[in-house]
Every structure is written in C-alpha cells, then in structure tokens.
Amino acid sequence: MNLPTKLTVLRIVLIPVFVALYFVKFPFNGIAAVAVFMIACFTDFLDGHLARKWNQVTTLGKFLDPIADKLLVMCAMVCVVMNGTVGETFTLILAIYLMVIESRELAISCFRTIAAAKGTIMQADKWGKSKTFTQMIALIILVPHKCLVEYFGSATSFTDIWFYVGFGLLSVAGVLAIISACNYMTKNKAVFKDDNN
C-alpha cells in the first residue's frame, strides 16, 4: 500500500473520530471536530496530488478515494442536520440539502460506473470542483456552530452571522450539485444509449 492510499485510509479512519468529537461533550469539542474534518479534507487533496505526481495511481486507491470522500461529506452533513440549535425550519432545509447532495453523489457514482464499463472516463469538471470546494468550506463553517452557540449563546449576532454564512455557502453548493449533475449527464449522454443501438 503506497502513501497516497494510506492517506485515503487515514481519511476513512478520521471519520469516526470526527463524529465522536462532534457529539462528545467537552469544551470546544466542535472546534476539535472541525480541526479533524479539515485534516481529513486536506488528505483528500494530498493523496490525489501525490498519486499523480509520483505516478502511484492504483486500483485500490481509485476504489477507496471516492468512498472516503462521500463518507466524510455525508457524516459531516448529518452532524450539521442534527445540530439542534438552528430551529425546525433550518433543520428541515438542511435535511433537504443533505438529500439533494447525497442523491447527486449516488447518481453520479452510478453514472461513472456505467460510463467506465463502456470505456468512457468522466473527469471532474469546473462545476463539480466548484461544488466540492464550496461544500467543504460550508461544512468547515457549519460544523463548529453548535459549539459556538453553547459558548456564546444562541441569541447573538455573531453566531447568527456565522450560521448564515455557512448556510448560504451550502445553499450555493446545493445549486452547484444540481448543475454539475445535469452537466455531467448532458455531456456524456451517449452513456445512456444501449450498446446494440
């Protein structure tokens, strides 16, 4: 197992650590959770960079990397939905965002699998990359919100602005998720054609 793949495995290992830190009560547990989340996000960039730079792209790495990415984002979004400090309306909207983004990830993963079976390699485009970047920044902001509310109080402009910035970015990520999914499928619509046609 090469270093890039080990970094991918590390990202998977960090996921339960992140979730535990988010829910276990101790001073600034949300800050600790977001620190682990940021480290996991950095390994996402680093493993791919090193694999390409050192020509160490492996089948195992290609299998584990997207799984690690989707697990990390899904767990972070579930934590944000279970925040419990933003009211029922925002909790419902966040849950809808979770369903939209994760449905998009599942659909694109299936689409990539079909495309690969037909010899078509789908590269990430600017919409997909923008979605991923915006989504990660939004979650980095939203994950510690619960901790900040517990420390500063729920009725402060600081915690409100903090949440609205993260919520706004996650809203943008949701729109980009839909746009990127439509763009992937439109550009690669030949994948939907039966081989005997």
Per residue of the chain (197 residues), what is the pLDDT tens digit? 788 899 999 999 999 999 999 988 888 787 888 899 999 989 988 888 888 888 888 878 878 888 888 899 899 999 999 887 888 899 999 999 999 999 998 888 888 788 777 777 666 678 888 998 899 899 999 988 888 887 777 667 888 899 999 999 999 999 999 999 898 888 877 777 776 65
pLDDT, position 97: 92
pLDDT, position 128: 84
pLDDT, position 197: 54
**SS3 state at 101:** helix
Cβ–Cβ contacts within 10 Å for residue 158, how many?
A: 11
